[in-house]
């Protein structure tokens, strides 16, 4: 039980750490947008997108070698963040908003996503723990199956 609890706490901590990193990053972009030159900001966005993409590829490779599904999904999440960061150059123009609004909305979306994901993981692990403590499945499984005899349909022959 203690081992399961530690694994659950570790998974939730990892998810909240990813959320914190993303929120800090997008808040940083939002605050530095006004102060930085457009070319420097563009290079910074490209470099950070490549960093998120590199992290994503490394996580997916580790997940492939160790056959871990959760790490693979975290890699996909970082891939989505890399695409979102790369789109920060063009999407504010298309959506008709400022870069600050776009970055802060991205930070809020990612924070909400990871908080919901952590809550779902916690609920699922608690449910699995409660199911493992219950022995109803074993009791029901061990009961013999009672077969009810069926009545055979006999044709009544008349006139013999």
**How far, rounded to the nearest angstrom, does the alpha carbon of residue 101 sit from its chain's CA centroid?**
25
Q: CA-CA distance, 118 to 121, in Å (whole number)?
A: 5
**pTM for the whole thing?**
0.67
- Please report which confidence band the pLDDT of residue 153 belongs to, taking 50, 70 and 90 as the band edges: low
- Output 16-21 pairs: Cβ under 8 A, ≥24 positions apart: 16/114, 16/115, 16/118, 18/74, 18/77, 18/78, 18/114, 19/110, 19/111, 19/113, 19/114, 19/115
Distance between start and end Cα atoms, the chain: 75
pLDDT single digits (tens) 11-36: 778 878 888 888 888 777 777 777 77
pLDDT of residue 1: 57
Q: Nearest Cα to 113, choosing from 5, 26, 18?
A: 18
- Please report which confidence band the pLDDT of residue 47 belongs to, taking 50, 70 and 90 as the band edges: confident
């Amino acid at each position: 039980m203690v081992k399961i609890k530690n694994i659950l706490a570790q998974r939730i901590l990892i998810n909240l750490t990813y959320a914190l990193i993303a929120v800090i990053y997008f808040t940083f972009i939002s605050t530095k947008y006004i102060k930085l030159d457009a070319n420097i900001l563009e290079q910074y966005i490209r470099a950070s997108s490549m960093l998120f993409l590199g992290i994503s590829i490394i996580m997916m490779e580790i997940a492939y070698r160790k056959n871990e599904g959760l790490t693979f999904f975290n890699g996909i999440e970082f891939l989505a963040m890399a695409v979102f960061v790369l789109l920060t150059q063009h999407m504010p123009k298309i959506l008709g908003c400022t870069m600050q609004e776009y970055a802060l909305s991205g930070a809020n979306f990612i924070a909400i996503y990871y908080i919901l994901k952590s809550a779902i993981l916690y609920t699922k692990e608690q449910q699995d723990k409660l199911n493992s403590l219950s022995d109803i499945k074993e009791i029901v499984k061990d009961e013999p199956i009672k077969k009810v005899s069926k009545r055979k349909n006999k044709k009544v022959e008349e006139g013999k």
